[in-house]
Amino acid sequence: MRMKRVLLVALLHVLFDSRNLCLLGSVIRKDTTYNFELPSTWLEAREHCRSHSGDLALLTQQSDVDLLDPYIYLSWIGLYKAADGDWKWSDGKSYENACYKWLLGCEDNNGDCAAANSTEGCKHQSQDCDDKLFFYCSNVDSTITFVPMATTWENARNYCQQRHKDLVTLESGTTANDLSDDLFYIWTGLHRAQPGADWEWSIGRADYENWEEGNGPAEGDCVGLSNTENSMTNLDCNSTWPFYCYFDNLVLVKENKTWEEALEHCRAMDLVDPQRNDLISISGPLDHHTVWFRINKATTNEVWTGLRYLAHKWFWVDGTDVPYLNLPTCPDLGKHCGTVDRDNSTIPWIIRDCNEKRNFLCYKKY
């Protein structure tokens, strides 16, 4: 009996760490970034997000969308650096007479062509002329037309000269209001393999949808949100738009391991500090909602979580409270570990034998 008690204490020491016992609330962290400086195709945008350990945006509910702020963007104007090193306007007018000024430190920031920042009033910044941005054309009646087609500065000038007058010259009297509130789209992770196929998210899954009025799953196999209404529109995947990257601290491991092997695997993901990673703890329905969306690509029907029964008590391995009712007070022998069902979101957990092998979900502590 004494030996059994020693082993139990040792196992509890492995599962718990004193730094974690005061941890309360959700351990899940989510963030979405808006990338407006270099509009990209859908595949280019996804590659960019993944190269920074994220993915194109996953939108699971309206509150995710409400947090987005898509009002900043860069657009070519007619200002460029001539061969003599002086900045000049495409239509030949003097730069010194313009109202617009450089953003602080941005005159020689990136290149020899200038772009206006939609939120900075009478200010602009230099960009590489081969970057692909939206642009503004001036018209013969002195109006300004916004063209949400990302292209190089030279192509933008040719477009304006052929269809309007020229790339815009920003003279005294031009305000930020003349260059804002224009419709464009921002890539999300929603796409389909071909017309008629099911829609799926680049990472995880979600049933959220808010299609733009008069638009739905017709032409176009990739989905963007409008900057004005945050409504969904399907677009040509090869068109170029700003994009949202999604980040969270969850890691789905598609290897089949026992519960204890899964715990060891998660904690070994950071060799310097094993306590920076752990099996996922689920603090309530919102966490379960997020976890269920993220495990859709698991190769087993259920996925291990950090729920464990030991010493006559259910607990999460990081020390957070177990909020759920109706857990068995005396579970069957061996069925002391908790899973989440990949295919049924209405079941918050399933109790399984800890020696069974399946995929599992880790999280990183920040």
Q: State the pLDDT confidence band at 300, using cuts at 50, 70 and 90.
A: very high
What confidence score (pLDDT) does residue 56 get? 92
Identify which of 113-127, 189-203, 312-326 has the greatest average pLDDT: 189-203
Bridge partners (DSSP) listed for residue 241: 40
What confidence score (pLDDT) does residue 119 get? 67
Q: State the pLDDT confidence band at 362, using cuts at 50, 70 and 90.
A: very high
Question: Which helix (H) or strand (E) element contains residue 35?
Answer: strand 30-40
**pLDDT digit string (tens) for 211-220?**
877 655 557 8
pLDDT at 130 over 80: yes
What confidence score (pLDDT) does residue 13 get? 40
Q: How far apart are the first and last CA of the chain?
A: 40
Q: Average pLDDT, whole number, for the chain?
A: 81
Q: Are 41 and 187 in contact (CB under 8 A)?
A: no
Domains of the chain: 30-70+184-247 (3.10.100.10), 74-179 (no CATH), 250-364 (3.10.100.10)
Q: What share of the chain is helix, strand, coil (3-state, %, to 5)?
A: 20, 35, 50
Lowest mean pLDDT among 98-112, 116-130, 298-312: 98-112
DSSP-derived letter for residue 284 is: S
pLDDT at 120 over 80: no
What confidence score (pLDDT) does residue 20 get? 41
pLDDT at 11 over 50: no
How many whole angstroms separate alpha carbon 72 and alpha carbon 34?
9
HEC per residue, 223-243: EEEECCCCCEEEECCCCCEEE
pLDDT at 325 over 70: no
Higher pLDDT, 175 or 200: 200
HEC per residue, 339-364: EEECCCCCCCCEEECCCCCEEEEEEE
Q: Which of 84, 125, 73 is nearest to 101 (CA)?
A: 125
Q: State the pLDDT confidence band at 86, using cuts at 50, 70 and 90.
A: confident
* Cα–Cα distances in angstroms (integers) from residue 125 to residues 50, 102, 168, in the given order: 28, 6, 15
What confidence score (pLDDT) does residue 214 get? 63
Question: Which helix (H) or strand (E) element contains residue 117?
Answer: strand 113-117
pLDDT at 23 over 50: no
Give the percent of the chain with pLDDT over 90: 31
How many whole angstroms separate alpha carbon 29 and alpha carbon 236?
32
pTM for the full model?
0.74
How many whole angstroms separate alpha carbon 74 and alpha carbon 124?
9
Higher pLDDT, 93 or 133: 133
Q: Are 328 and 307 in contact (CB under 8 A)?
A: no
